[in-house]
């Protein structure tokens, strides 16, 4: 320590950046509605609803299904179906690179999670979009998992529930994405013919082509309130 540093009051003495106490990122969240700064864990424990203004924050697929389904008897449907790159698509980046990044960021293998289980002991199959996986876009995997979920509901004679959070069709799969609209709607027609209910819950954000297909054809369509 030089004579000058010795003269400085302790408060202005420089510390080694490595010694400074690290504040973990993302521990606090500012509510976009009431601007209250919320502790992330508190928000999650309140199912992502702001404790001070009741604003419904966005919620991931698995967290939502966790909150929705009874703890017992859950099983996942179609997790073995994973994305491929049939068109060798490339925009500013290659499609497989985008998939890899989305997988790392979300821990999911595509933008739809489907689970069988029960709600208050009533058996059903529930599908939920993961918006953080390529904006919840629907490609072949999302379509296939959706249909497998509907087929499981038909087989077990139980209702099918879908929570949408999606930007629409996945452009990296071109026409194959658009085909999913017909494919998913055809499966819902089979469900309807068996007299089984389809409940569509629109959550923030639901936009694009999916709204024009299976999201709006539910026997019951519910829009999750923002407040
Ligand atoms: Zn709030």
Specify if 12 maps to a domain: no
Cα(43) to centroid of ligand 1, in Å?
A: 10
CATH of the domain at 81: 3.90.226.10
pLDDT band, residue 13 (cuts 50/70/90)? low
Cα(104) to centroid of ligand 1, in Å?
A: 29
Report the pLDDT value the prediction gives residue 108, as an integer from 0 to 100: 97
**Each residue of 141-187: pLDDT tens digit?**
999 999 999 999 999 999 999 999 998 889 899 999 989 989 999 99
CA 143 – CA 127 distance, rounded (Å): 11
Specify if 107 maps to a domain: yes
Specify if 53 maps to a domain: no
Specify if 191 maps to a domain: yes
What's the structural domain count of the chain? 1
Report the pLDDT value the prediction gives residue 18, as an integer from 0 to 100: 58
Cα(224) to centroid of ligand 1, in Å?
A: 16
Cα(134) to centroid of ligand 1, in Å?
A: 27
* Stretch 199-219: mean pLDDT: 82
For 82, counting Cβ atoms within 10 Å of its Cβ (0-12 exposed, 13-18 middle, 19+ buried), the class is exposed
Specify if 33 maps to a domain: no
**Each residue of 65-124: pLDDT tens digit?**
999 999 999 999 999 999 999 888 888 899 999 999 999 999 999 999 999 999 999 999
Specify if 6 maps to a domain: no
pTM of the model: 0.84
Q: What is the mean pLDDT of the chain?
A: 89
Domain residue limits at 80:
58-223
Specify if 88 maps to a domain: yes
Residue 173 DSSP symbol? G
- Shortest CA distance to 162 belongs to which of 121, 227, 120, 111? 111
| Greater model confidence, 6 or 125 | 125
Cα(30) to centroid of ligand 1, in Å?
A: 8
Cα(225) to centroid of ligand 1, in Å?
A: 14
Specify if 45 maps to a domain: no
């Amino acid at each position: 320590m030089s004579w000058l540093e010795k003269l400085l009051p302790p408060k202005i003495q420089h510390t080694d950046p490595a010694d400074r106490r690290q504040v973990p990122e993302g521990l606090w969240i500012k509510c976009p509605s009431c601007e209250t700064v919320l502790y992330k864990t508190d928000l999650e424990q309140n199912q992502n609803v702001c404790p001070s203004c009741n604003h419904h924050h966005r919620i991931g697929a698995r967290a939502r299904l966790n909150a929705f389904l009874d703890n017992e008897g859950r099983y996942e449907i179609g997790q073995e179906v994973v994305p491929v790159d049939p068109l060798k698509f490339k925009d500013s980046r290659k499609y497989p690179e985008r998939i890899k990044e989305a997988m790392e960021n979300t821990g999911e293998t595509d933008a739809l999670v489907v689970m069988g289980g029960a709600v208050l002991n009533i058996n059903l199959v529930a599908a939920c979009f993961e918006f953080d996986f390529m904006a919840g876009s629907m490609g072949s995997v999302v379509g296939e998992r959706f249909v497998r979920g509907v087929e499981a509901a038909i087989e077990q004679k139980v209702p099918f529930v879908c929570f949408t959070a999606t930007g629409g069709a996945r452009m990296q799969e071109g026409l194959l994405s658009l085909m999913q609209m017909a494919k998913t709607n055809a499966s819902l027609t089979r469900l309807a013919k068996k007299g089984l209910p389809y409940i569509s819950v629109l959550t923030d954000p639901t936009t694009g082509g999916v709204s024009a297909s299976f999201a709006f054809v539910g026997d019951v369509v519910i829009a999750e309130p923002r407040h």
